[in-house]
Structures are given as structure tokens and as C-alpha cells.
């Protein structure tokens, strides 16, 4: 047997089973049906006479075929076919134990091998034998002893037909990329491999954002041309990852799986982070504008990532989960990627440069403040607003504060970020006041690490001065944990802020440990009842009602204004009104909205 080729002439069934399965791929990878493509065909030769195998191998190698497999043990044929997914089988008919007819009928009965062409080797001139082989699905005949030129020609012709059929079956005619069917075959294959070798892989569902608009505005011809170009760009993106990154060659494959939908299969990866690298690269690859039929078009994508085995080991479940993740990316405004697993989404924020992205977020202007009105329970008038931060990440879209504020607290970035929040809130408030809009107060959230940082007091004073905002218009929302940690220092600092005129609010009240009597020690103005209590007001609500009543009564006795957060229903509002809660905040009145929208809200008010 020739060492340069991947021949398997001997071995037990078990060994053949252990071999790495070949990627089912058809003969379409290089496109076209050039001689080069044909010569890459995987050809399996089965004959019980080793000498015939040797002769055929010599002839075929001479003709330039490089992927030759053979076995002289007929019982090895079926496992080999299953393992290697050959493009063509050369099959002897008359063999001991398992004859060629058995193998042929087995192949034709199995969906996976049904379409593999089989050239039957026969020394017999017996018409009945030929007829039987034809009936069982043989593609062609080759007479023994084998003649070199006849062998080469029959193989060429058979493979040329297969290339054409494979293209029709597996290739998307618009983009030339593998189609949905090929993608599914590959996914099945990758999953079986992952199971067998305990591998990790990922499936990415890519959707072009707002593609429908292009279609409607510019027509299907332009839309098709755009899709072609997008396919090319994504393909470059995938090739880049494949050759530059840690990702092994050929473990990445791009397919077009629907109208404006593409998919990438990452059949093997070292770490889950590899998938992030690929997703980023793909988003990047479509960033530059497209030139289509005289139009300059800007395109972005939403990518959903499902990881196996974590998010499933079954094709349809994984496809569905990647789709769910894609929708979530799109809902955040697109041009973003998301894992299906929320765990991975959180973890990914802490790794792979998102820390350093957060560093740059301020200077790049990616942080935004959203505003949610605080409403007077009695009159329904807007008496204030809470500023809530959002991070508009260039790739991941909107990131919610719960996902990055903890990270910012860990790495200290909360200090500059918090300073930006206060400055931005003051700038907006000042601008609204200048426009004659009425907004008595604005609240910002101040985290523990920020509060305890040296120079915090001075920076706040400077910000107020620069912005020209009256300190009495600014409220700090702090949580119980800040106050518990360094109680004495915190109290001293809070008093200095109070002296300046600032208002202080205890946020998320009821979630920590502090008792109401403990609150007396702190110079507070306001108490925000945590929204978890509100949720209990809806159903039967007797217990929740008792708690809220107690908080309101005691809070009032300490001279505090009581704010309920998370008010979502009229029922809740009616009860809070009845109980004498001073202010309400929640989706019932408005979600947190961008500054421009909040401005409209104020103006309409
Ligand atoms: P929080 O201070 O308790 O803010 C209120 C959260 O409740 C906001 O979530 C808001 O969108 C949400 N919310 C408002 N009304 C309703 C409602 O009716 N129903 C429900 N289910 N939720 C409602 P968001 O904006 O995601 O902020 C989450 C947390 O992130 C905030 O909780 C706050 O602790 C923190 N955060 C936000 N912005 C900043 C900031 O600038 N600095 C710091 N240090 N933390 C911030
Ligand atoms: Ca708050
Ligand atoms: Ca809160």
C-alpha cells in the first residue's frame, strides 16, 4: 500500500469505526468541474485481489488522483464507506463472504450512500450479472483486467456527472455558497463528531439587518446582487479566522441557509471565546459600504450563537437556539452578536477585550443616559427623572447596566463612568431648564466604589459648578450596601453632600439588611421601595400590602419621601395612592427613554 495516500487495506470493523469520519461534502468545494476538482475526488476501491487494487492504484495515481482508499477485505467495505463518505466506489462483484451485490444493495438502501456512484468491476461477460448490478443501482461497468485509459475515462465521466449533481443539490446558485441542505449534513456530521470525541463547537445564525428595506426600496435585482457581495465578504471573514486564528483549518464553514440568512458552523473550537472572535470578524467584514448598481449601501448583521454540547446536541434544537439568540441580537438594535446562553453572554463580557472596550467606551462616546420619569402619585405630574446608563457597544449593541456595571465596579472603571453620568445628567437638566421645560430634580445612581473613591466630593462639586446646575436639583441614589460598609465615613460624606444641597435617596430598599431604625443614622431624603415588593401587590397581595404599608408609615415618620419603583399596573398605582406613597416610577408611566424622547415627554406634559 502506498504511504502517501490514506489507504486502509486491513483492520477490524472496530478500527474502521474508530476512524475519523469524513466530512460529507460532495464534490463541490472548489466550485466548477475542472480537472483539479475531479482529482480531489475521494475514491474507494474494493476488490479481494490485492494485485487488482495495486494496478488500479498505479493507474489512478498516474492520472493525478490523490485521495485513494482501498480494501481487499470485502467485509471492510461498508464501514469504510460509512467512515469515508467517498465520492466514488470501484466495486468488485465476485468476492468471498460479502459480495459486491450485497454492498451495492446496502448502499442503495441507505439515504447517506444512495447517491454515491458505483462503478462495478466485472470479468464476467455474463449479461444476467450486469443486469442484476444495474438493477441494484450500479452506475457503470469496468471490464477486468482493467485497462488504464478505460479506467481513467470512466472515472472522469462518472465524477463529472456527480460534480454537476452535487452542485445542484448542495450549492446555493445565487452566492455559490453551500446551501441549507449541505449545512444540515455538515451539522449532523459535526454533532456526531463532537459526541464521539467530546468536542466543543458552535453554530452561528447570521441575519442581514433590515434587508427587507433594501428589497422594497431598490428591487430584487439589486437585493440579489447585494446578497452575493455579502456572501463574499462573510466568506473572506471566515477564511481570515480559519487561517489566522487558533481555529483549525476547515473547521469553519459558511452557508447560505435562507433569503437573507447565512450560517457558520464552527465544528471544533479550543475555547468558547473562539466563537466570539469569529462573530466579531463577521460583523467587521460587512462594515465597509457596499457598491451595488450605483448605490452605496451600508449593511449590518445580527448573529446568534448556539454552542454544542452546552446548548443542545440535536440539530433542530441547536438551529432553533441560534435563531433565538439572533433575534435577541436584532432586538438590541442589530449589528451585534449574542450567545443563546445568558451565562455565556455574561462571561463573555468579562473576557476578550470587553474590559478594554469599556475603557474606551467613554472616549468613543458609546455611553448613553436614558431617563425615566418619577411621577407624583397624587397629581400624576412629572416631578423628577432617574438617569439610567446604557452602553451602545459597536458590536454587541445595547448592553444593559446589570451586565457591565458589576464589571466596572470590579475594575474601577465605575469611577470615570460614574463621573460621566453625573456630568451628562447635569448637562441635560441644564439644557432642559434653558428650554423652559419643567423638571424639578434629576436622580443618578451612585455605586459603592464610586462613592468611596478619593476626590469624589470635589469632582461632584466641580461638575455642578461647570454645568451651572443647582445642587438642590440633583439626587444621589445609593444602596444600603454602601452605607453598611464604612458607615461612619459614609455618613460624614453624605452630610457634606447634604450641606451642599444635594438630596439623598436610599435605593432598592428592602433588599438589604438594614432596618428602618438604622436608617435614622443616615441623612436621607427619600426611600425607594424595591420593585420586588410591588410585584406582590398584584395577586392576593395582603402580605405585600402590609409590608409596603409599614415602610411608608415608618418612612414618613422619619421625614422621608417614599418612592415606589417598578409600578406596572393600575391596580398597583391605586393601592399606592391609597397608602399615601409620594412618588411612583415604572413602566405604567414610561419606560426609561433616550434624552430626545424624554424631552418630548416633558414638553407634552
Ligand atoms: P435601579 O437603580 O433599581 O434602576 C431601576 C431599574 O428598574 C432600571 O433598570 C429600570 O429600567 C427598571 N424599571 C423601571 N421601571 C420598571 C418597571 O415598571 N418594571 C420593571 N420590571 N423594571 C422597571 P436598568 O436601567 O436596567 O438598570 C438596572 C440597574 O443598573 C439599576 O437598578 C442600577 O442599580 C444600575 N444602574 C443603572 N444606571 C446606573 C448608573 O449610571 N450608575 C450606576 N452605578 N448604576 C446604574
Ligand atoms: Ca436607582
Ligand atoms: Ca432601584
Of 95, 153, 98, 97, nearest to 121 by C-alpha is: 95
Residue 17 has a pLDDT of 38
Contact 72, 45 (CB under 8 A): no
Q: Which residue has the higher pLDDT, 26 or 15?
A: 26
* Residue 369: per-residue pLDDT: 97
Ligand nearest the Cα atom of residue 510: 3
pLDDT band for 582, please (50, 70, 90 cuts): very high
CB 171 within 8 A of CB 180: no
Centre of ligand 2 from the C-alpha of residue 141, in Å: 80
pLDDT above 80 (res 124): no
Q: What is the pLDDT of residues 79-106, one digit of tens each?
A: 999 888 899 999 999 888 889 999 999 9
Any idea which ligand is nearest the CA of 374?
Answer: 1
The answer on pLDDT for 345 being more than 80 is: no
pLDDT band for position 2 (cuts 50, 70, 90): very low
Q: How distant, in Å, are the alpha carbons of 266, 382, 387, 417 from that of 375?
A: 51, 5, 14, 27
- Cell numbers for 579, please give them: 397608602
pLDDT of residue 506: 93
Distance, CA 566 to ligand 3 centroid (Å)?
8
Best residue for ligand 1 mutational test, from 450, 480, 565 (most atoms within 8 Å of Cβ): 565
Domain ranges, ordered by start, for the chain: 6-170, 180-340, 358-604
Mean pLDDT to the nearest integer, 424-446: 97
Mean pLDDT of 586-597: 96
Residue 335 scores a pLDDT above 50: yes
Contact (Cβ atoms closer than 8 angstroms) between residue 44 and residue 18:
no
- Identical fold between 6-170 and 180-340: no
Cell 414618613, residue located = 556
| 345 C-alpha to ligand 2 centroid (Å) | 24
**Contact, 42 vs 67, CB < 8 A?**
yes
Closest ligand to Cα 476: 2
pLDDT at position 351: 58
Is the pLDDT reported for residue 12 higher than 60? no
Interval 542-558: pLDDT, tens: 777 888 998 999 899 99
pLDDT at 138 over 50: yes
pLDDT in tens, 153-165: 999 999 988 888 8
Q: How far is the CA of 437 from the centre of ligand 2 (A)?
A: 23
Contact present, 90 and 44 (Cβ < 8 Å): yes
Rounded Cα–Cα distance for residues 104 and 82 (Å) = 13
Query: Minimal CA–CA distance to 499: which of 472, 522, 478, 480?
Result: 472
Residue 121: left (phi > 0), alpha (psi -120 to 50), or beta?
Answer: beta
Confidence at residue 443, expressed as pLDDT on a 0 to 100 scale: 98
Query: Which CATH topology does 358-604 take?
Result: TIM Barrel (3.20.20)
Q: What is the separation of C-alpha 446 from the centre of its chain, rounded to a whole number of angstroms? A: 32
**pLDDT level of residue 6 (50, 70, 90 thresholds):** very low
Query: What residues does 337 pair with on adjacent strands?
Result: 303
Residues near ligand 1 (Cβ within 6 A):
372, 388-389, 400-402, 405, 418, 421, 444-445, 447, 477, 507-508, 531, 565-568, 586-587, 592
User: How confident is residue 18, by pLDDT bands cut at 50, 70 and 90?
Assistant: very low
What does DSSP say about strands 593-594 and 140-143: parallel, antiparallel, or unpaired?
A: unpaired
Residue of 367, 372, 445, 538 best suited for mutating to test ligand 1, as the one with most atoms within 8 Å of CB: 445
Helix axes 77-84, 100-109, angle to 10 degrees: 40
Query: For residue 479, which atom of ligand 1 is closest to its CA?
Result: 34
Identify the weakest region by mean pLDDT among 203-217, 275-289, 300-314, 480-494: 480-494
Give the span between the Cα atoms of 128 and 132, in whole angstroms: 6
Instruction: Give the nearest ligand 1 atom to 447 CA.
Output: 44
Query: Of the residues 358, 401, 415, which should be mutated to test ligand 1's pocket, given the most ligand atoms within 8 Å of the CB?
Result: 401
Question: Do the bridges between strand 67-71 and strand 42-46 make them parallel or antiparallel, or are there none, so unpaired?
Answer: parallel
- Rounded to the nearest whole angstrom, what is the distance from the C-alpha of residue 521 to the centroid of ligand 3? 21
Identify which ligand lies nearest to the alpha carbon of 443: 2
**Helical pair 50-62 and 148-170, crossing angle rounded to 10 deg:** 70
Residue range 469-476: mean pLDDT, rounded:
97
Spatial separation of the C-alpha atoms in residues 361 and 290, rounded to whole Å? 27
Across the range 118-144, mean pLDDT stands at 88
* % pLDDT > 70, the chain: 89
Q: Which ligand is nearest to the CA of 450?
A: 1
Protein residue closest via CA to atom 17 of ligand 1: 566
Q: Radius of gyration (Cα) for the chain, nearest Å?
A: 34
**Terminal CA-CA length for the chain:** 87
Residue 296, pLDDT score: 87
Nearest ligand to the C-alpha atom of residue 477:
2
Among protein residues, the one whose CA lies closest to atom 23 of ligand 1: 566
CA of 370 to the centre of ligand 1 (A): 10
| Mean per-residue pLDDT of the chain | 86
Which atom of ligand 1 is closest in space to residue 508's alpha carbon? Answer: 3
What's 180-340's CATH class? alpha beta
d(CA 562, CA 190): 58
Question: Cα–Cα distance between 167 and 169 in angstroms, integer?
Answer: 5
Helix (H) or strand (E) holding 382: strand 382-393
The pLDDT assigned to 605 comes to 82
Diameter over CA atoms, the chain? 110
CA of 451 to the centre of ligand 2 (A): 15
Which CA distances in Å does 276 have to 32, 116, 506? Answer: 33, 37, 39
Residue bearing the CA closest to ligand 1, atom 12 = 566
Determine the pLDDT at residue 105.
95
pTM across the whole model: 0.53
CB 266 within 8 A of CB 251: yes
Residue range 299-304: mean pLDDT, rounded: 93
Tell me: pLDDT of 192 over 50.
Answer: yes
Question: Within 13 A of 202's CA, how many CA atoms are on the CB side?
Answer: 28
- Residues β-bridged to residue 528: 563
For the CA of 388, the closest atom of ligand 1 is 38
pLDDT at 214 over 50: yes
Among 62-66, 318-322, 418-422, 540-544, the least confident range: 540-544
Q: For residues 39-58, give the mean pLDDT.
A: 93
- What are the pLDDT digits (tens) for 245-266? 556 656 888 999 999 999 999 9
Q: According to CATH, what is the number of the domain 6-170?
A: 3.40.50.2300
Q: Pick the atom of ligand 1 nearest to 477's CA.
A: 2
Per-residue pLDDT at 43: 95
pLDDT digits (tens, 9 = 90+) for 381-426: 999 999 999 999 887 788 888 778 877 876 678 889 999 999 999 9
Amino acid at each position: 500500500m502506498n504511504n502517501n495516500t490514506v489507504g486502509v487495506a486491513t483492520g477490524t470493523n472496530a478500527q474502521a469505526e474508530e476512524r475519523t469520519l469524513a466530512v460529507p461534502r460532495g464534490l463541490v468545494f472548489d466550485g466548477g468541474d475542472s480537472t483539479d476538482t475531479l482529482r480531489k475526488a475521494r475514491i474507494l476501491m474494493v476488490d479481494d485481489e490485492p494485485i487488482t487494487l495495486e494496478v488500479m492504484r498505479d493507474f489512478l495515481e498516474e492520472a493525478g488522483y490523490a485521495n485513494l482508499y482501498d480494501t481487499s477485505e470485502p467485509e471492510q467495505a461498508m464501514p469504510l464507506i460509512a467512515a469515508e463518505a467517498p465520492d466514488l466506489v470501484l466495486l468488485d462483484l465476485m468476492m468471498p463472504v460479502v459480495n459486491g451485490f450485497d454492498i451495492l444493495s446496502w448502499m442503495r438502501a441507505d439515504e447517506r450512500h444512495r447517491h454515491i456512484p458505483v462503478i462495478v468491476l466485472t470479468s464476467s461477460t455474463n449479461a444476467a450479472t450486469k443486469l442484476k448490478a444495474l438493477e441494484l443501482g450500479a452506475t457503470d461497468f469496468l471490464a477486468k483486467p482493467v485497462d488504464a485509459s478505460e479506467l481513467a475515462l470512466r472515472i472522469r465521466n462518472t465524477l463529472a456527472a456527480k460534480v454537476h449533481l452535487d452542485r445542484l443539490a448542495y450549492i446555493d446558485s445565487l452566492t455559490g455558497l453551500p446551501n441549507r441542505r449541505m449545512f444540515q449534513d455538515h451539522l449532523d456530521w459535526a454533532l456526531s463528531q463532537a459526541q464521539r470525541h467530546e468536542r466543543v463547537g458552535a453554530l452561528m445564525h447570521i441575519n442581514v439587518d433590515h434587508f427587507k428595506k433594501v428589497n422594497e426600496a431598490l428591487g430584487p435585482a439589486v437585493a440579489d446582487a447585494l446578497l452575493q457581495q455579502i456572501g463574499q465578504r462573510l466568506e473572506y471573514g471566515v477564511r481570515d479566522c480559519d487561517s489566522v486564528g487558533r481555529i483549525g483549518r476547515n473547521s469553519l464553514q459558511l452557508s447560505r441557509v435562507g433569503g437573507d440568512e447565512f450560517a457558520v458552523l464552527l465544528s471544533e473550537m479550543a475555547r468558547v471565546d473562539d466563537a466570539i472572535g469569529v462573530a466579531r470578524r463577521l460583523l467587521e467584514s460587512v462594515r465597509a459600504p457596499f457598491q451595488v448598481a450605483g448605490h452605496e449601501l451600508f449593511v449590518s448583521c445580527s448573529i446568534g450563537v448556539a454552542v454544542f454540547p452546552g446548548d443542545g446536541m440535536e440539530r433542530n434544537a441547536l438551529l432553533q437556539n441560534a435563531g433565538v439568540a439572533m433575534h435577541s441580537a436584532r432586538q438590541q438594535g442589530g449589528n451585534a452578536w449574542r450567545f443563546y446562553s445568558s451565562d455565556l453572554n455574561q462571561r463573555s463580557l468579562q473576557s476578550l477585550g470587553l474590559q478594554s472596550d469599556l475603557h474606551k467606551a467613554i472616549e468613543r462616546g458609546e455611553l448613553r443616559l436614558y431617563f425615566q420619569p418619577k411621577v407624583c402619585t397624587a397629581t400624576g405630574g412629572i416631578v423628577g427623572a432617574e438617569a439610567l446608563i446604557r452602553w451602545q457597544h459597536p458590536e454587541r449593541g445595547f448592553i444593559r447596566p446589570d451586565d457591565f456595571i458589576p464589571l466596572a465596579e470590579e475594575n474601577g472603571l465605575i469611577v470615570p463612568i460614574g463621573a460621566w453620568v453625573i456630568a451628562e445628567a447635569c448637562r441635560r437638566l441644564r439644557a432642559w431648564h434653558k428650554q423652559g421645560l419643567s423638571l424639578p430634580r434629576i436622580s443618578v445612581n451612585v455605586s459603592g466604589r464610586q462613592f468611596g473613591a478619593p476626590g469624589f466630593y470635589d469632582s461632584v462639586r466641580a461638575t455642578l459648578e461647570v454645568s451651572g446646575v443647582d445642587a438642590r436639583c440633583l439626587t444621589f441614589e445609593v444602596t444600603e450596601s454602601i452605607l453598611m460598609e464604612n458607615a461612619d465615613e459614609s455618613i460624614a460624606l453624605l452630610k457634606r453632600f447634604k450641606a451642599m444641597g444635594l438630596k439623598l435617596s436610599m435605593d432598592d430598599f428592602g433588599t438589604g439588611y438594614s432596618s428602618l431604625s438604622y436608617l435614622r443614622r443616615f441623612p436621607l431624603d427619600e426611600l425607594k421601595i424595591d420593585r420586588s415588593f410591588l410585584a406582590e401587590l398584584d395577586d392576593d397581595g395582603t402580605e405585600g400590602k402590609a409590608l409596603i404599608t409599614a415602610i411608608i408609615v415608618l418612612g414618613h415618620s422619619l421625614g422621608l419621601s417614599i418612592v415606589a419603583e417598578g409600578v406596572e399596573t393600575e391596580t398597583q398605582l391605586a393601592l399606592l395612592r391609597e397608602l399615601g406613597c409620594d412618588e411612583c416610577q415604572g413602566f405604567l408611566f414610561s419606560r426609561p427613554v433616550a434624552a430626545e424622547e424624554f424631552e418630548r415627554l416633558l414638553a407634552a406634559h
